[in-house]
Amino acid sequence: MMNEPDTPDDPRQGLPSVSLVLDDEAIRGLVAEFSRPFVLDAVRETLDCLRNELGPGNEPPPMNAITERVKSVLHANEFERLRPVVNATGIILHTNLGRAVLPQRAVDALSGLNRCCNLQIDLETGKRGRRSFMTEYLLTKLTGAEAALVVNNNAAATFLVLSALCRGKEVIVSRGQLIEIGGSFRLPDCIHQSGAVMVEVGTTNKTHLSDYERALTENTGMVLRVNPSNYRIVGFTEEVPIEDLVTLKRIRPVLVADDLGCGALIDLSHHGLPAEKTVQASIAAGADLAFFSGDKLIGGPQAGIIAGKKELIAKIKKKSAHPHAPHMQIDRHGARTNAPAVSRS
């Protein structure tokens, strides 16, 4: 909204300039606390508001009142920044409240990463090493997979897998597993944008192994199982477990992938919680790839983890898999750690 031009009797003429407010002793103290750019924005916002509020017969406020308003603006903006809260919702992994809380051991480790480290160097040879070596090494030990890759989130993991391995090929998925999750991520859209062709089988509530068998063609690239993490279909239902889906390889040489969603690494039933398919069980059953989140049941930072056959992970890692593949990989803080006594070259 544009301000009306000042008139000779306009009280707005009595307002101080931005530079005069910034030179006030109280404001200089705020600059030291909040930094000059933030204070400058708050001063301009305050003076703009006063210009809109002042009318004929009004007196401009004194400088101390102006500085108090600037301070209020700064504190209001500061209130919107990240800060600790109490989760009293009853939802342990609450998306809006940061999902998994990092364990203190991880926080302590992160606090020591404000210096140079052996991020991407082999200390024995002095040559360039692989940035994510240790992360992948630990994931293979945890899951039993031959190789692993960590990207920004599980949506990115799904997209890269399909883009690298199924472009131009058919991907078979149950109608009951065509999920939509937070952020309006829809599996059908992801498959389409990857360049693959989605083939739906079964019905919303029931899908049989024979449905997958009939859908197999010479152009089938992958059979994809998806864990409906955010919803459940109950009652008259049936779905095909990964152990049965891998038997389809006997009919035709296709890839079988398991989108596990939450990424359970332990049997939750031992802790009185509903059973959740573990990553290890999926890999052991014969899934070529399993992908899952790192920020839910694993309790880490937001990440998407792909674990599986070594030759497939190698294809996904290539820049040719997708032009933006390098942009989807984790940052330096997610990959750095001390290396084990094995080669990283």
pLDDT 10s digits, 142-159: 999 999 999 988 989 999
* Of residues 334 and 23, more confidently modeled: 23
Q: What is the pLDDT of residue 336?
A: 39
Give the start-to-end residue ranges of the domains of the chain: 11-79, 104-115+133-329
Q: What is the pLDDT of residue 244?
A: 97
Residue 342 binned pLDDT confidence (cut-offs 50, 70, 90):
very low
Radius of gyration of the chain (CA): 28
**Per-residue b or e along 171-207, where b marks 16 or more CB atoms closer than 10 Å to that residue's CB:** bbbbebbbbebeeeeebeebbeebebbbbbbbeeeeb
Tokens, residue 99: 């999902």
Q: What is the pLDDT of residue 188?
A: 92
Q: What is the pLDDT of residue 183?
A: 64
Q: What is the pLDDT of residue 1?
A: 47
In degrees rounded to 5, what are phi and psi of residue 252? -150, 140
Tokens, residue 68: 């108090």
Please give the share of the chain, as a percent, with pLDDT higher than 70: 89
Q: What gap in Å lies between CA 229 and CA 180, rounded to an integer? A: 10
* Of residues 307 and 338, more confidently modeled: 307
Q: What gap in Å lies between CA 121 and CA 127, rounded to an integer? A: 6
Q: What is the pLDDT of residue 98?
A: 81
Residue 344 binned pLDDT confidence (cut-offs 50, 70, 90):
very low
Q: What is the pLDDT of residue 338?
A: 37
Write out pLDDT tens, residues 239-296.
Answer: 999 999 999 999 999 999 999 988 889 888 888 888 888 999 999 999 999 999 988 8
Please check whether the domain covering 104-115+133-329 is classified as CATH 3.40.50.620.
no
Q: What gap in Å lies between CA 139 and CA 161, rounded to an integer? A: 17
- Does the structure show a pLDDT above 90 at 174? yes
- Does the structure show a pLDDT above 70 at 91? yes
The whole-number average pLDDT for the span 184-194 is 89
Of 64-78, 146-160, 182-196, 322-336, give the lowest mean pLDDT range.
322-336
Q: What is the pLDDT of residue 7?
A: 54
Q: What is the pLDDT of residue 134?
A: 85
Q: What gap in Å lies between CA 239 and CA 226, rounded to an integer? A: 11
* Of residues 109 and 71, more confidently modeled: 71
Supply angle C-alpha 54, 38, 77, rounded to 5. 75
Residue 337 binned pLDDT confidence (cut-offs 50, 70, 90):
very low
Q: What is the pLDDT of residue 302?
A: 83
